[in-house]
Structure 1
Amino acid sequence: MGTILILANSSGGLYDFRNELLVRLLEHHRVVISLPDQTKVKELREEGCEIIETPINRRGVNPKEDLKLLIAYRKLMKSIKPDMVITYTIKPNIYGGFACRMTKVPYITTITGLGGAFDKKGLFLKMIVHMYRAGLKKAECIFFQNDENRRIFEGYRIAGKKERRVNGSGVNLQRHYFEAYPGEGKTTFLFVGRVMKERGILEYLEAAVRLHQEDVEFAILGYCDEDYQEMLDEYAQKGIISQWGFHTEVHPYLAKANVIVVASFHEGMSNALIEAAATGRPVIASDISGCKEAFEEGVTGFGFTPGNADDLIRAMEKFLALSKEEQAHMGKAAREKMECEFDRKSVIDAYISEINEQLLYHS
């Protein structure tokens, strides 16, 4: 029985999208998880995981805080002595990678998305590239969730010892089961995700203003990650949007909607999109890597140019022009695509095979 240490920046994300992997690992290993929050810690502990709280500033670059994170990770390596480390998201990937290199512990990394880091220029971009190169250089395997992220890394000569491509975290088809399509009545567009500029909230709000009508609802599901709450409250008071709040269990809300909107500027692989599709809902999604792999234009949804409200409105109008029967058919096709291509079981199998191979090699 070996010890697996997992470094992540969100207990909710780890539990919601990767819990099946944890359950599989717990069958044969001690699993220790480093996390900065308490959202799903109770559930993780009940399954048998050991939790260590490690503060992370998820946004921005603060050298003092980041150095503290590196020191904390290095202490973890020395005290726990893991046989393997698995890292998710930017800071655990980079600083966890540094710590693993310092302590000579094998590690596997997952690129869950690049955010806007590689859109920067000048010194900041050079710094990010250098940190990724150094942090991932000795990774036994880098898992990518879309081909564009992989191409960006290749272009900047960021590489580990090997790489693999998976369809995001996959979707649990039992948890997100097919739901009958809503019948006649108003059409509900549902924005799913953190309320922030890079998630396309401004374009969504503009579309809500311009397409506002009695038989169309514009709902928002997610917490406010930037300073938009006052604007949301004002729009809700005017009846332009509905605020459905933040919920750890999203399935019932996906089922209530006619179509889910994912307007992000960047994605590794959009969990909101694949969960919506698994529920049997069409999607309107940014035409970017991390979204476009998970829908088929005109078959399971419509794409649009991120950051472009006019193009989002065009896609929404195309959807509104469909009959309810056509919309429902699109939702069924979305479910079928998830069953064929995005079953989480296949993603978990890829990780387990890689972890077992590396543990055997390093034993």
Structure 2
Amino acid sequence: MDIDMPSFATPALPLEKTHLRIGFVALSDCAPLVAAKVLEFGHRHGLTLELCRQPSWAAVRDKLLSGELDAAHALYGLVYGVQLGIGGPQADMAVLMVLNRNGQAITLSTRLARALDDHGTLQAAIATLERKPVFAQTFPTGTHAMWLYYWLAAQGVHPLTDVESVVIPPPRMVDALARDTLDGFCAGEPWHALAEARGAGETVAATSEIWPNHPEKVLACRRDFVARHPHTARALIRTMLEACRWVDAPTHRDEIASWLAKPDALDVPREFIAPRLTGREGGKRFARAPLPVSFFDGGTVNYPRAAEGRWFLAQYRRWGLWRGSEAATADDAAIAAAVNQTGLYREAAALAEVPLPPDTRTDVLCDGATWR
């Protein structure tokens, strides 16, 4: 087993808690958590990690709020939804770092994908269906819901009136597509690869086409956990930075795919995980694979930029999920500054010798809109 990592000296800071229960959902982008556990990166920082697979993002939310989980691999938008109390309990939340960018997709049923080929536009393809189309995402305020809504709107399809949007845990989506109770879904891998392998659907868009290098999963916890355990939180960020660096090395992607295939992780054959995790494939419709999932990229992946949190707030307003105050810009900036633990991340990154990317950047989305 190849562990090509620099040796970091850990300062003598007493940890408030040393055994952490970390939640995850069965998606390929939980790879850094699996690597951190298998290779025990936490031990050099005084931590023992216990990985806890969860059946859904709602379970991740509930167990973070109850304290059963200390932290979790979580949808960026899940954190902000809980912070605002949209559709469930409200709690002050924290984004410790970004775990990955890109790597999600939209798959249509084979019937709808063929109709898209025949008719040229999604609007025309949907008109061939005998019922209102049903599209699935994984959590009402999550990243997958926002990517799906944004993509549909860019195709001229209103995501709340022209289609029925439902929440389904990622491992159940392929079966729903195969049973013809679903016309499309947005989620992470390996479920798109599995849908194509079963002939149930075809991947028609990668989320990196919607927003290149978009933030995806984050390392999340309740904000009072950070307040009570600041040294532990800092050590956890350092641990996960090391894991993200390790996973991002091309020579390690195939190795981590084998670990992800095991029953206590994704429980999916390795051949459905490795091609898209390594960036070799993106689906049979792609002449070239889209931007691959990225976990580190010299540290540019992981900085919890507050502007990216503001993007989710803007989408919640757009789709009527949240009104907020009239002073939207100031209000959103204050919320994002409180949720995204940029100061704590900077401290951990400095200790881990991980460079910081610029605090601001300009992104161009698929409809030509810019965000900064």
TM-score when scaled to structure 1?
A: 0.30
Larger radius of gyration: 1
Structure number with the bigger relative contact order (C-alpha 8 A, sep ≥ 6) is 2
